[in-house]
Structure 1
Amino acid sequence: MSALESFSAGFKAGSGALAGADAPWLAALRQRAFDRFQQEGWPVAKQESWHHTSLAVLDQQDFALRGEARVAAEKIQALRDGEAGHWLVFVDGRYTPQLSDVGALPAGVQIQAVSQVLRDHPERLEAYFGSEADGASTAALNLALADDGICIRVARGEQVELPIHAVFVSASRQAASFSRNIVVLEGGAQATLIEHYVGDGAGVSLSSTVLRAVLAADARLVHLKLQQEDEQAFHLGESDIAQEQGSNYVSHSMSFGARLARNDIVTHFNGEHCETLLNGLYYVDGKRHVDHHTWIDHARPYGVSREYYRGILADTARGVFAGRILVAPGSDGTDAVQRSDSLLLSRMARADARPELEIYADDVKCAHGATVGQIDETSLFYLRSRGLDAEHARSILIYAFAAQAIERIADESLRRRVTRAVRGLLPGKELLGGMA
């Protein structure tokens, strides 16, 4: 049975058991979304935005919609590593309260599992759950099957001082999980969300995840997505951000796991003076494949966007970056920078970069660029002339390339977490032990 057939059978048999199934608006929305997915199927290479990424291998898998594995509390404690915060843990797509620790919340701050909200007050999510027309057909499949995830709402002017952690553990073999995360920040509110995707020996699994965030005027969201799934896993992720006047969205997309990972990030400037930073880093080896697609919609004047993606590729791995910045008519004062840099560690590794500017306003400042190359021999010679052996010098240069992305993470605890993940993956990692 193919993945498409698995999901078709699972939706027909189990849609009535999904959280919120009794809400007429949600049942109708899920049906429309599933109808779209059945009509379109998986995205194919003839679609421009999927030209470099094939889901044929994914469709050859036979997935179960819910796993039954358990995760030891010690694993979650190791992930936490003593870090303070508000923690919600999901195992194979299901909220697991016994592994979670939401903690005390400030007045005006709500942090819940989506399944809880859909069970008790589904009407509160109707305006934020999305439409069957959003994104690719993969997002429509997510909409049809997702009934859990993290739901965050922060009242006007409130600041959540500690980071909010949403940990998604893939623990069952051949299990597919569908999560839909929702963040609503009212005027002037601030929060930090960490989405952490990890494997627990699941092998072949699928994580389908969609983040929908609404940032009111002057709100600020820092969003770190750290992906560390098993080597045979599949990951399909989308982030859809709506920004109102003066809001600030900071995204750090760190992709270090999965056989195939696709991340789509879209942010819409619906008011003047919006700001966004899209910062990405990925490492792929073996035959793994990572694809980042971004779209920054400068729909209003005086928006500022910065976009930097870095990839490290070894063996026969492949990395894809396609970034689009759209400056709409009348969006004067736009200031946008987009850059993609890829480091190839072998002759068989491949990086595809397609930065794109589409400008319909005159008074703007925009720039974009991309590089694909290997380790600089001059820098390597310089380090070796200072007494380092070839392997040590090479490891330092690879880490220095990654560090430029890590340094853009302003929060020290988040930066430390990503640094540990990067150093544990890079070639020559045992030689990097003394580096910060």
Structure 2
Amino acid sequence: MSPTAAQDSLLTGFDEFTAARASEPAWLRTSRARAAATFRDEGLPTTRHEEWRFTPVAGITAVPAQPVAASSADAHTVGQFLFRDFGGPQLVFVDGRFSPALSRTHALPSGVRVATMAELLATDPEPLQKHLGTAIRFRQVGFTALNDAWFTDGVAIIADANVVVAAPIHVLYFSTGAGTSYPRTLVVAGANSQLSLVESFAGTDTAYVTNAITEVISADGAHVDHYKVNRESLTAHHVSSTHLHLARASVFSTHNISLGGLLTRNDINATLDGEGIECTVNGLYLADGDRLVDNHTAIDHAKPHCHSYEIYKGVLDGSSRGVFNGKIFVRQDAQKTDAKQTNQVLLLSDDATIDTKPQLEIFADDVKCTHGATVGQLSEESLFYLRARGIGKDDARALLIHAFAEDIVERIRIEGVRRALEQVLLARLPIRE
């Protein structure tokens, strides 16, 4: 099959799909048609695209793009990816559709609404019409259009002004391996509201595709704590984009933990559109074998007196590859900006590779901006220090690797999530020598 024919196949059955959803609001049907037309023009990115030159995505065309029909998953299998002692609701979506039977409900305060998009489209589509897609300023070539065209369900979290949601909310998107799913998450945080959200992605040990979009719209003074955990099958393709639109004096943090996937592409795009914003973007990724993890971040300082902090760490073994491209834009009017970016990568084998490209584009003159990237192997001096104190070579390597990765995990504020990820790290490390 030619590359063009392979990409055309990603819209096979689209007319029948939209015909079966004729009861959807007219604005959504128009949006789907526009997205399909956009994909026909764009196609999927190739390595000739600057933002994708290290990340070939041809394998995605081998998986049917049409959303999987309603399916079910084993409760025990799914339960392994829920968090113990979480203290808040845990909503489960199987192949992109909500599963009430697998979900765990929990009371939330008045003034916050947590609903599936399918439910809102059937009963109250106005919030989706008003907000869906409005935070997207940077589109992923092809993939954004495919999600806009094909998504079937997702979750919307809408918090009124001054509402404090003490219990965190967990959304698990689980794939059975039957094809492609298009998770969609929308968070609208009212003025001075506070909430925490964990998005998890997991699936059975088969080749499938996850194409996810998350949008966070934060009003003045809102606080949003966000976590994204990728524990996908090691034969799966995971492509996601997170879009943030932050207003004056809002505080936002995200921690992106990538542990699974044969190919993982994470895009995080933040627009700091008000004064006094604080934005934290952290990430940790582990890869071995011939896996690829590509992280692209863009933080746009559009207004003055804002702060952004970014730390991304990677641990690469085998013949795995990593990509980090971090951009910080400082607009002409964004005086008094304070932006810090750090990328650190630990290479555990001679065949592992990393392509890192920190970028600053500064158009203001009264700013404090720093960026840096370090790539290296385990310190022989540190290994010698530990071994001189009676610690075996393998245990010494494991301690150093774990300490390097733990720096990101320990920043997670939700205890149940932090403990679960620490257990995953203990199981994964030491990575083979």
Distance 2:323 2:71 in 1: 33
Distance 1:10 1:307 in 2: 41
Distance 1:44 1:106 in 2: 46
2:370: which partner in 1? 367
1:135 aligns with 2:123: no
Q: How far did residue 16 of structure 1 move?
A: 2.9
2:39: which partner in 1? 37
Q: Is the 8 A contact 1:192 1:223 kept in 2?
A: yes
SS in 2 for 1:424: helix
- Correspondences of 1:366-385 after superposition (within 5 Å): 366-385=369-388
2:199: which partner in 1? 195
The range that moved more, 39-48 or 75-84, is 75-84
Instruction: Find 2:104's aligned residue among 95, 101, 105.
Output: 101
1:122: which partner in 2? 125
The range that moved more, 2-11 or 43-52, is 2-11
Q: Percent identity?
A: 38
Deviations 1:295-315 (A, max 9, x none): 000000010000000000010
Instruction: Find 2:328's aligned residue among 325, 328, 337.
Output: 325
2:62: which partner in 1? 60
1:217: which partner in 2? 220
Q: How far did residue 150 of structure 1 move?
A: 1.0
Distance 1:196 1:49 in 2: 25
Deviations 1:80-121 (A, max 9, x none): 324221111000111111111232121101001111111211
Q: How far did residue 254 of structure 1 move?
A: 0.3
Q: Is the 8 A contact 1:181 1:210 kept in 2?
A: yes
Q: 5+ unaligned residues in a row in structure 2: which ranges?
A: none
1:234 aligns with 2:227: no
1:390: which partner in 2? 393
Q: Is the 8 A contact 1:21 1:27 kept in 2?
A: no
Deviations 1:229-273 (A, max 9, x none): 111101010001100000011000000001101000011011001
Deviations 1:312-340 (A, max 9, x none): 00100001000000000021110000010
2:172: which partner in 1? 167
**What is the TM-score normalised by the length of structure 2?**
0.95
Which amino acid letter does the alignment assign opposite residue 151 of structure 1? A
- Correspondences of 1:155-304 after superposition (within 5 Å): 155-173=160-178, 175-201=179-205, 203-304=206-307
Distance 1:306 1:172 in 2: 36
Q: 5+ unaligned residues in a row in structure 1: which ranges?
A: 430-436
Which runs of structure 1 show a deviation greater than 4 angstroms over 4 or more consecutive aligned residues? 131-134
Q: 1:409 to 1:81 in 2, by over 3 A?
A: closer
**What is the TM-score normalised by the length of structure 1?**
0.94
Q: 1:428 to 1:267 in 2, by over 3 A?
A: closer
Q: How far did residue 8 of structure 1 move?
A: 0.9
Distance 2:373 2:91 in 1: 38
1:50: which partner in 2? 52
Which amino acid letter does the alignment assign opposite residue 24 of structure 2? D
Please report the RMSD computed on the Cα atoms of aligned residues, expressed in angstroms: 1.7
Distance 1:428 1:289 in 2: 16
Distance 1:67 1:30 in 2: 18
Distance 1:299 1:124 in 2: 26
Deviations 1:145-179 (A, max 9, x none): 11211110011111111110100111133x10011
The range that moved more, 100-109 or 30-39, is 100-109
Distance 1:297 1:21 in 2: 38
- Correspondences of 1:415-426 after superposition (within 5 Å): 415-426=418-429
1:434: which partner in 2? none
Distance 2:96 2:411 in 1: 30
Distance 1:239 1:129 in 2: 13
Distance 1:5 1:62 in 2: 11
The range that moved more, 58-67 or 324-333, is 58-67
Q: 1:74 to 1:82 in 2, by over 3 A?
A: farther
